[in-house]
């Protein structure tokens, strides 16, 4: 690792990557345990957010899980900024000369949680320094699996919180005609281009539709269960986007977006504020982009 890379992916001060990784994993593990312990006993209420048109909800479990993160970040990473989903939590980095901050999605998939689903419930955190996601962690509450990379590392790991499963993730070669494409929304609301892709048997083997946590949907891509994921146009937040962008980019995924008659390939970069995704996008591994475009144009 050269000096420039270390500056981008490392940490300020005396904290090193492995130590930070242990703490970040422990935050996620504690949040997962808290969410799981309160699955059957929680209070939910509707909340209003300016960037969503559909009804949205918050539970006391969202708030409690966020407090776990807030307290541990304050204790272990003093001066780091935090941008989190609940109660407008947003604090700037106070370390002189630094721009380093966490995003926190304490309960990803709140509606799935309220429905007491057996899947699609997660919790996510990312750490951004100088516009690079240097660490990210996504926890699947129901399977108790964690997807993670730490500062100063090029490896993404999948493991269970009791260490009965531990593997380094990598994307195996293959053709998209043998893969599924995963939709996170009702296919009737997708753009004509995406509807055409999912309706063509020659593009992908088939499609699946999933609800709940965006992090858990993306984990299926990282594990190789599906070959691409569609993210519908609309507003997205740093706490939703940055963890999945960080892990996806680390594994070599990119964004495909259709502009007029051409496909544009873009890297997965972090965001600091709520932004609009103008068109439906496809997250696909860079090794399959050429095949995708060739099949679409054939």
This prediction has a pTM of 0.93
- Domain boundaries, given as residue ranges, for the chain: 3-168, 176-297
Question: Domain 176-297 carries which CATH code?
Answer: 3.40.190.80
Per CATH, the homologous superfamily of domain 3-168 is Fructose-1,6-Bisphosphatase, subunit A, domain 1 (3.30.540.10)
**pLDDT tens, residue order, the chain (298 aa):** 333 333 455 798 778 999 999 999 999 999 999 999 999 999 988 877 666 666 778 899 999 999 999 999 999 999 999 999 887 889 999 999 999 999 999 999 999 999 999 999 999 999 999 999 999 999 999 999 999 999 999 999 999 877 778 999 999 888 999 999 999 766 777 788 888 887 766 689 988 988 899 999 999 999 999 999 999 888 999 999 999 999 999 999 999 998 878 899 999 999 999 999 988 999 999 999 999 999 888 7
Beta bridge partners of 59: 44
């Amino acid at each position: 690792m050269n000096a420039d890379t270390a500056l981008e992916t490392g940490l300020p001060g005396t904290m090193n990557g492995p130590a930070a990784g242990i703490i970040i994993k422990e935050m996620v593990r504690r949040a997962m345990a808290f969410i799981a312990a309160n699955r059957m006993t929680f209070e939910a209420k509707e909340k209003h957010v300016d960037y969503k048109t559909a009804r949205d909800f918050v539970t006391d479990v969202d708030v409690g899980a966020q407090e776990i993160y807030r307290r541990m970040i304050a204790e272990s990473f003093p001066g780091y900024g935090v941008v989190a989903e609940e109660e407008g939590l947003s604090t700037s980095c106070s370390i002189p000369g630094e721009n380093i901050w966490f995003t926190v999605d304490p309960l990803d998939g709140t509606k799935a949680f309220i429905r007491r689903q057996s899947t699609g419930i997660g919790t996510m955190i990312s750490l951004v320094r100088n516009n690079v996601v240097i660490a990210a962690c996504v926890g699947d509450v129901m399977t108790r699996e964690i997807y993670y990379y730490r500062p100063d590392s090029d490896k993404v790991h999948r493991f269970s919180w009791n260490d009965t499963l531990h593997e380094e993730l990598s994307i195996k070669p293959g053709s998209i005609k043998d893969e599924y494409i995963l939709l996170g929304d009702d296919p009737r609301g997708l753009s004509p281009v995406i509807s055409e892709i999912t309706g063509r048997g020659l593009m992908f083997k088939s499609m699946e539709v999933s609800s709940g946590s965006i992090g858990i949907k993306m984990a299926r891509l990282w594990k190789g269960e599906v070959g691409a994921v569609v993210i519908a146009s609309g507003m997205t937040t740093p706490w939703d986007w940055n963890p999945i962008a960080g892990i996806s980019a680390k594994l070599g995924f990119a964004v495909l977006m259709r502009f007029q008659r051409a496909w544009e390939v873009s890297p997965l970069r972090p965001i600091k504020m709520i932004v609009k995704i103008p068109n439906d996008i496809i997250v696909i591994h860079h090794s399959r982009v050429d095949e995708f475009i060739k099949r679409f144009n054939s």
